[in-house]
């Protein structure tokens, strides 16, 4: 996971010295960049938070929040709430959606994955799963004949304050 966080570093350096439209471009670049899958450090920067105060750029902060915490379904609920995205953005969002699903269930039927990830063929689904495994985001086994992905582990996603509070309560109850 440290390697995943390190890949964000060039965007953090850029974001610290930019504002406005330039900061929005950093968000667009970071969310589309291969290998960058954690975004909370970028989101915490004051220059990036300021995007939320500009009606023309607030959707870029929303995009960053989507990539930190959301899924493809979140995006599809209201795509107009975000700036126009590229195919690289959508592919990465599918990767992050698969990770979110893997964090909730150790056994993921292909039909559910195809629906959630909007992939029409099993071949496309298995290619995406392989990409996510090679990216170091999850470990597991695909069972083509059973049409199921068995998850051994999944990398964590960025956490919201609510997630942290639920974790704290869980630890207290443990």
Which residues are CB-contacts of 134 (< 8 A; sequence separation ≥ 6)? none
58 near 20, Cβ under 8 Å? no
> What number is the average pLDDT over the span 61-67?
98
Same domain? 56 vs 110: no
> What pLDDT is stored for residue 124 in this prediction?
98
Is pLDDT above 80 for 98? yes
Same domain for 76 and 8: yes
* 172: in domain: no
| Portion of the chain with pLDDT greater than 90, in percent | 85
Per the prediction, the chain carries an average pLDDT of: 93
Same domain, 11 and 76: yes
pLDDT tens-digit readout, 100-138: 999 999 999 999 999 999 999 999 999 999 999 999 999
Cα–Cα distance for residue pair 156/158, rounded to 1 Å: 7
**Residue 101 in contact with residue 93, Cβ under 8 Å?**
no
The residue among 59, 84, 109 that closes a domain is: 84
- Domain enclosing residue 132, as ranges: 88-154
Q: Is residue 165 part of a domain?
A: no
Dihedral Cα 112, 123, 120, 101, nearest 10 deg: 30
> Rounded CA gap, 80 and 77, in Å?
9
End-to-end CA distance of the chain: 26
Indicate whether 166 belongs to any domain.
no
Give domain status of residue 164, yes or no. no
Strand ranges (DSSP E) for the chain? 107-109, 138-143, 148-154
Distance CA(116)–CA(20), nearest Å, equals 34
Residue 112 lies in a domain: yes
Whether residue 125 sits in one domain with residue 67: no
* pLDDT of 4 higher than 90: no
Report the C-alpha gap between 96 and 53 in whole angstroms. Answer: 27
């Amino acid at each position: 996971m440290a390697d995943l966080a390190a890949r964000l570093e060039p965007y953090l350096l850029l974001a610290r010295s930019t504002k406005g439209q330039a900061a929005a471009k950093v968000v667009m670049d970071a969310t589309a960049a291969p290998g960058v899958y954690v975004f909370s450090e970028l989101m915490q920067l004051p220059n990036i938070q300021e995007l939320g105060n500009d009606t023309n750029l607030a959707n870029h902060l929303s995009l960053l929040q989507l990539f930190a915490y959301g899924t493809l379904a979140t995006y599809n609920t209201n795509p107009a709430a975000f700036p126009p995205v590229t195919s690289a953005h959508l592919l990465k969002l599918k990767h992050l959606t698969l990770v979110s699903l893997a964090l909730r269930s150790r056994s993921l039927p292909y039909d559910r994955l195809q629906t959630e990830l909007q992939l029409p063929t099993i071949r496309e689904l298995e290619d995406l799963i392989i990409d996510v495994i090679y990216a170091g985001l999850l470990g597991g086994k695909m069972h083509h004949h059973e049409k199921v992905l068995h998850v051994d582990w999944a990398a964590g996603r960025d956490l919201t304050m609510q997630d942290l509070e639920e974790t704290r309560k869980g630890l207290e109850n443990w």
